[in-house]
Copies of this chain bind each other. A is one copy, B any other.
Amino acid sequence: MYPESLQDLIESFKLLPGIGEKTAERLAFSIINMDKEKTDFFATSISNAKNKLHKCPICSNITDQDLCSICSSPNRNKKILCVVEDCKNIILFEKTGSFKGMYHVIDNLISPLDGINPEDIGIDKLVKRIESSPFEEIIIAVKPSIEGETTSLYIKKILEGLKIKVTRIASGVPLGADIEYIDSMTLERALQDRKEIE
């Protein structure tokens, strides 16, 4: 019913996650009403992103260079490795400014019930990297869920022979959060992991 070039654009938006028919229509019309300069930028960005971006062969971070900016930096501490479950999380940790080590992105978290086993999330790549690197500590920075805990324990176990310290980031009550809105599992963990005030 719509002209073909409009229908194609609507179908394109429907390829995106969480975008249904109505939203796709709305977004398609917004494209028509945009400046040509902006739509050119948009179209080029899509092509460029697809053509240039790939996973860093060392850490699986996303990059448009041979190695990602962290793996290729001479200013990082090569003795400490932070394992994250998503390359977006690297940006978040970098924003804190307090971690200067290396990263490694695993593809997912172990979840036997969903059929996701250690070999599906690239643990072997991680282990190979650790075995051939001078890491002294591995920080597991994944979501504190059942899958996250399973993954952390699995990594800890598989590295047992290597005499490397394996830690996980702290769980507990977020700064500024009202205790009354925190779930009981988090409170339980916050109690377990309590620290002496110095």
Scan A23-56; emit 1 where CB is below 8 A from any B CB, else 0: 0011111111010101111111111111011000
How distant is A57 from chain B, measured CB to nearest CB, in Å?
A: 15
How distant is A165 from chain B, measured CB to nearest CB, in Å?
A: 28
Total residues of chain A contacting the partner, CB 8 A: 49
Q: Which residues of B contact A50 (CB under 8 A)?
A: 31-32, 34, 36, 39-40
Interface residue SS majority, chain A: helix
Given the interface pairs A2-B62, A17-B27, the reply to whether A8 lies near B47 with Cβ below 8 Å is no
Contact at B40–A4, with CB atoms within 8 Å? no
How distant is A28 from chain B, measured CB to nearest CB, in Å?
A: 7
Contact at A42–B64, with CB atoms within 8 Å? no
How distant is A3 from chain B, measured CB to nearest CB, in Å?
A: 4
Q: Interface centre among A36, A38, A49, A94, by most B CB within 10 Å? A: A49
Q: Within the complex, which residue of B12, B36, B48 is in contact with A41, where a contact is CB–CB below 8 Å?
A: B12
Q: Which residues of A contact B (CB under 8 A)?
A: 1-6, 8-9, 11-12, 15-18, 25-32, 34, 36, 38-50, 52-53, 62-65, 68-69, 88, 91, 94-95
